[in-house]
A and B are shown apart, each in its own frame.
Chain A
């Protein structure tokens, strides 16, 4: 919990990792891909405040002690949700697997939620594995990395028929939350790999599942917003938005937050630190202190109140994951309840509101 000016904030870090990108874990012959991946992450890391940056060697593989200190002792987080990313094409034991994450979930009861994964390209064996994982990890959510390479395939789409089999199975097994990472190099390469149209289809066809688009579809935030405004069960995962912009590009952070508040709304935005890309401490403290600038160019964006910050920092995600929130931190939130589509947003506004 984070307390500031007498207000208590229950913090759910809905998107974080415990990764191993150490050299020992690089698949022989694919070292360039393994290094390229973590180097790319390290580039993002350097968008945080200088005093929070790690040296490259620590960044490759951080310890359990580092994580517990950075996230809970110093980072104000109450509950952290592990999002698994396998990437076994170039990390021998995987980058950030449910198995490895779950070691900490078991060791520190109540602190973590382990999210699983599936990949429709694994067919019946994958479905069976998903069933086992649900039992083993008590899964309520999965992270789907649609751009992951397997063999010659460079990814899949959520609305592939084979993926629908998995979504049906997930629903049947009691999974509620589908976190989607939109990333580079989805097959076929000639299409826009960040396209979120597949989330649109799946969200329409699976109304009882929540789809949390991580990184708010950056770099296609416009496609994401146009889609999310029409889909009551689509959420904006703020990982990368806060970490990558709040310190490095504060004006753009304000604009992106303004757009998200307008199109998606404060009940459907969830904080994620993306640890170890960035530590949660400065992100939580910075977001609580943050205000939309007074300058004219931000004048018609919605404002963040203390209540909206409480929702975004924890209450919305707590609702999605049925996490118990202490009475002193509670507020009503409509996360997980149907909302109105987009035309409503400007219908009753007089004149030009651009």
Chain B
């Protein structure tokens, strides 16, 4: 469990907890990406983020800084937010771009041609596939077969944090997430047929293994990068 840096007001930490690493599908607070966070008497929040490597992909990095900026700006008691990324090859572009509200294309003039909405949706889709494995796996282990699984709706699944998380990802994507929505769906939200269930679940598990393995890698790399006395301390 990662604790908030000293001096972080609970409302601001709660705001940061809503910011996800789009690739890893985990909050930046759980990933130890928040290096420092303070709020001045005048309500100016100063947040510094950090990442596992100097070369972490700039597009995802940009999204995290921009999302943190939006979330912290909206937090109670904050009059203005300054969110910056430390120790990254594109820190200057990202920090300047987020502060100036110039969007991703504006921040990387000549190097980026599109905003990042499609990229974000692509990774939410991956997260929503992995989430189906998290929710379905205990049911499969308990002996539920393809016919039953294909018919199962979200409302029939026992409540769990994994189910809430799956609903949130689907809601963000605009695909069915209510009680009567099927648990197993394709990327476009359509129902998976019973014949498709075995391969679909294989894919869902692979997707989850992929995302979670990346998460493990990133946490390990961040821990060695910022270990006390590390040769690579930026």
Contacts from A to B (Cβ < 8 Å)? 32-33, 35-37, 39-40, 42-44, 46-47, 55-56, 152, 154, 184-185, 187-194, 218-222, 225-226, 244-245, 248-249, 252, 255-256, 259, 262-263, 296, 343, 345-346, 349, 351-354
* 21 residue pairs from A and B, CB less than 8 Å apart: A37-B55, A39-B234, A43-B232, A46-B220, A46-B224, A185-B55, A188-B112, A190-B118, A192-B122, A192-B123, A218-B217, A219-B217, A220-B210, A221-B213, A248-B220, A252-B212, A255-B209, A351-B145, A351-B146, A352-B145, A352-B201
B53 near A346: Cβ-Cβ < 8 Å:
no
- Contacting residue for B54 out of A39, A226, A255, CB 8 A: A39
A189 near B108: Cβ-Cβ < 8 Å:
yes
B55 near A36: Cβ-Cβ < 8 Å:
yes
A259 near B149: Cβ-Cβ < 8 Å:
no
A190 near B113: Cβ-Cβ < 8 Å:
yes
Minimum C-beta distance from B51 to chain A (A): 11
Whether A184 touches B224, Cβ cut-off 8 Å, given contacts A43-B232, A221-B210, is no
A36 near B111: Cβ-Cβ < 8 Å:
no
Most buried by B among A42, A184, A218, A263: A184
A256 vs B215: C-alpha distance in the bound complex, in angstroms? 13
- Contacting residue for A189 out of B112, B204, B209, CB 8 A: B112
Number of A-B contacts (CB under 8 A): 153
A40 near B54: Cβ-Cβ < 8 Å:
yes
Residue B180 is within 8 A (CB to CB) of chain A in the complex:
no
- Contacting residue for B119 out of A37, A191, A220, A262, CB 8 A: A191
Chain B: how many interface residues by the 8 Å CB criterion? 58
New A-B contacts (18) at CB < 8 Å, excluding given A218-B214, A219-B214: A33-B89, A43-B225, A43-B232, A47-B220, A154-B111, A184-B55, A189-B111, A189-B112, A191-B114, A244-B217, A249-B213, A252-B213, A259-B206, A351-B198, A352-B145, A352-B146, A354-B202, A354-B204
A31 vs B1: C-alpha distance in the bound complex, in angstroms? 35
B contact residues around A35 at 8 Å (CB) = 54
- Please, which residue of chain B has its CB at the minimum distance from the CB of A220? B210
B55 near A188: Cβ-Cβ < 8 Å:
no
- Please, which residue of chain A has its CB at the minimum distance from the CB of B196? A346
Minimum C-beta distance from A37 to chain B (A): 7
A contact residues around B177 at 8 Å (CB) = none
